[in-house]
Amino acid sequence: MKKLLLLALPALFLSGCSDKNNYEAAVLADLKREESKDPKDYKVDPEKMAACIVKTSAQNMHGLFEFDPDRLMAYRNYTKMLTLTESPDPKKTMEELRNEFGSVQELTAARSNYIESQLGCLETFVASSDEKVEK
């Protein structure tokens, strides 16, 4: 039993890292799109902003810890939500998202979590840059 657990843990860890990295890549791509001018306007490094958004939004995702299967599923669903416009069939993908999140309200809550995380991180970076200017 211990051997099985030792074999399963690295696979779970690698899978979890992959899901989180995919989510961070989707956040970074979202920040670099033309519509998202905030990082450029406030001179915030998009990579640091993406890492902050992932960390902040993860605090309000399902799952108790980083590699909880519910958290890994949340990373996949958030990634799918952010890449909806790139989907060949956005309507079908939206329906899948509704089913995977459980309801329209849960999907809306996930989108709100992402946007609130984005705004919170932007506020943090802007405040820290204002402090540097004052000093």
Give the pLDDT confidence of 64-99 residue by residue, as tens digits. 777 788 999 999 999 999 999 899 999 999 999 999
Long-range contacts from 21-30, C-beta under 8 angstroms, 24+ separation: 22/75, 22/76, 22/79, 23/54, 23/75, 23/76, 23/78, 23/79, 23/82, 24/50, 24/51, 24/54, 26/78, 26/79, 26/82, 26/83, 27/53, 27/54, 27/82, 29/82, 29/83, 30/82
Quote the pLDDT of residue 37.
73
Quote the pLDDT of residue 35.
64
Quote the pLDDT of residue 131.
62
Q: What is the DSSP letter of 65?
A: S
Band the pLDDT of 132: cuts 50, 70, 90: low
Give the pLDDT confidence of 30-51 residue by residue, as tens digits. 988 866 677 778 888 999 999 9
Band the pLDDT of 16: cuts 50, 70, 90: very low
Quote the pLDDT of residue 130.
63
